[in-house]
């Protein structure tokens, strides 16, 4: 097994070039043999709260109830009433839900690990979590954690015992699907520092340079772009927005424009990575378009109040940054929850002002799974194929 270098992350690539070449060949027009699915044995995920299955909760305290109420029926480390897109991806590949790397209780890493934490950014932040709310576990730290996990998994599996059952086989690292959903907080951090839209756009190339720098090898990558920031109750409530900046759907146009700008540059970075890593399969997924369609066509799709947080307290958008989902107050010595869940989360899109409900996450997953919003346009189960561009 190729060693997991800490400085230059190789993602444990150990496939022979001959095998890689064969698996990436398109169908012969003579045989018409359908391509086989990739049969990913594991997933290694990197990201922020959009795909955090419990990393931040393990490090800094559990996301409070009613988070998790719909599917898990109790807090489960996710900032949602239930499952996230990454959970549906794992389920769709026939794999168990990913255990967070930072969680030492009840975790099983036999089919992958989740290095994402809520509040994570690509670029390390120059503030503490208590000051800004952003996680100290930025993307570069997540890759350091991955590198150490890769190296030590091989060592401990050889010792046998329980480690052999709870850690991935060596060859899983080269055959796994590597998923990314990060960048949203890099944009919002600039707005929280009162930067202009142009100032935020100006540092995006550096964000994407750092994103590209951590990807030094590997086989199959599934990269989500960022969603419509201007349609989040968090954005609409927190930042000064003029009436002329609100579109027909109630979203803040300038914030969505910055997200689109980021996504265009991210796609360019993925295209360059394909050139730099010709044996890697790089799939870029347009999450923005899917989520934007969901929000702007909510009623048609069976959802209600797309810009209203399901779990929150007060205000136009049922969002208060000082009383987030699950917040309690003490009255006469008794704790009372003031930021409660709505009655029917299954017909709502936004969960807590920032994140999506399980129903919305499932709808998004259903749209992206067949490759309709991917570049190249291939189903997720084929994401190990190196396609011509």
Catalytic-labelled residue, pool 48, 186, 286, 352: 352
> 184-206: per-residue pLDDT in tens?
999 999 999 999 999 999 999 99
Confidence grade of residue 387 (pLDDT, cut at 50, 70, 90): confident
8 Å CB contact between 272 and 215: no
Q: Is the pLDDT of residue 247 over 80?
A: yes
Active-site residue flag, 48: no
**pTM, rounded to two decimals:** 0.91
Active-site residue flag, 87: no
> 129-184: per-residue pLDDT in tens?
666 678 999 999 999 999 999 999 999 999 999 999 999 999 999 999 999 999 99
CA distance 372 to 336: 45
> 14-59: per-residue pLDDT in tens?
333 333 333 333 443 444 456 789 999 999 999 999 999 999 999 9
Catalytic-labelled residue, pool 51, 313, 355, 374: 355
Active-site residue flag, 355: yes
Q: What is the mean pLDDT of the chain?
A: 91
> How confident is the model at residue 3, as a pLDDT?
41
> How confident is the model at residue 372, as a pLDDT?
97
> How confident is the model at residue 133, as a pLDDT?
73
> How confident is the model at residue 130, as a pLDDT?
60
> How confident is the model at residue 12, as a pLDDT?
47
> How confident is the model at residue 1, as a pLDDT?
32
Q: What is the mean pLDDT of residues 208-218?
A: 88
Catalytic-labelled residue, pool 49, 80, 135, 174: 49
CA distance 195 to 90: 37
Confidence grade of residue 317 (pLDDT, cut at 50, 70, 90): very high
> How confident is the model at residue 2, as a pLDDT?
38
């Amino acid at each position: 097994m190729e060693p997991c270098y800490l400085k230059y992350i190789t993602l444990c690539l150990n496939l022979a070039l001959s095998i890689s070449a064969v698996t990436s060949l398109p169908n012969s027009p003579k045989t018409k043999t359908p391509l086989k699915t990739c049969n990913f044995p594991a997933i290694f995920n990197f990201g922020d709260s959009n795909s955090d299955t419990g990393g931040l909760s393990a490090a800094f305290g559990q996301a409070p109830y009613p988070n998790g109420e719909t599917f898990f029926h109790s807090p489960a480390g996710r900032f949602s009433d239930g499952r996230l897109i990454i959970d549906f991806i794992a389920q769709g590949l026939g794999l168990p839900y990913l255990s967070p790397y930072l969680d030492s209780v009840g975790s099983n890493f036999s089919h992958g690990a989740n290095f994402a934490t809520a509040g994570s950014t690509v670029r390390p932040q120059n503030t503490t979590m208590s000051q800004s709310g952003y996680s100290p576990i930025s993307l570069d730290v997540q890759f350091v954690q991955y590198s150490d996990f890769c190296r030590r998994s091989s060592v401990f599996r050889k010792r046998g015992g329980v480690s052999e059952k709870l850690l991935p086989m060596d060859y899983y690292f080269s055959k796994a699907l590597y998923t990314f959903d990060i960048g949203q907080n890099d944009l919002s951090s600039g707005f929280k520092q009162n930067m202009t839209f142009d100032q935020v756009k100006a540092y995006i190339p550096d964000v994407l340079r750092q994103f590209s720098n951590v990807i030094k090898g590997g086989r199959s990558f599934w990269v989500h772009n960022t969603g419509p920031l201007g349609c989040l109750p968090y954005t609409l409530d927190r930042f000064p927005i003029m009436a002329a900046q609100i579109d027909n759907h109630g979203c803040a146009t300038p914030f969505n424009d910055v997200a689109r700008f980021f996504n265009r540059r991210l796609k360019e970075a993925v295209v360059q990575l394909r050139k730099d890593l010709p044996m890697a399969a790089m799939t870029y997924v347009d999450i923005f378009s899917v989520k934007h369609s969901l929000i702007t066509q909510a009623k048609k799709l069976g959802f209600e109040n797309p810009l209203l947080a399901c779990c929150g307290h007060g205000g136009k958008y049922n969002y208060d940054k000082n009383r987030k989902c699950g917040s309690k107050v003490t009255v006469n010595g008794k704790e009372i929850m003031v930021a409660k869940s709505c009655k029917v989360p299954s017909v709502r899109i936004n969960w807590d002002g920032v994140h999506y409900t399980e129903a919305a996450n499932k709808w998004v997953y259903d749209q992206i799974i067949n490759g309709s919003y991917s570049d190249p346009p291939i189903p997720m189960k084929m994401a190990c194929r190196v396609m011509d561009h």
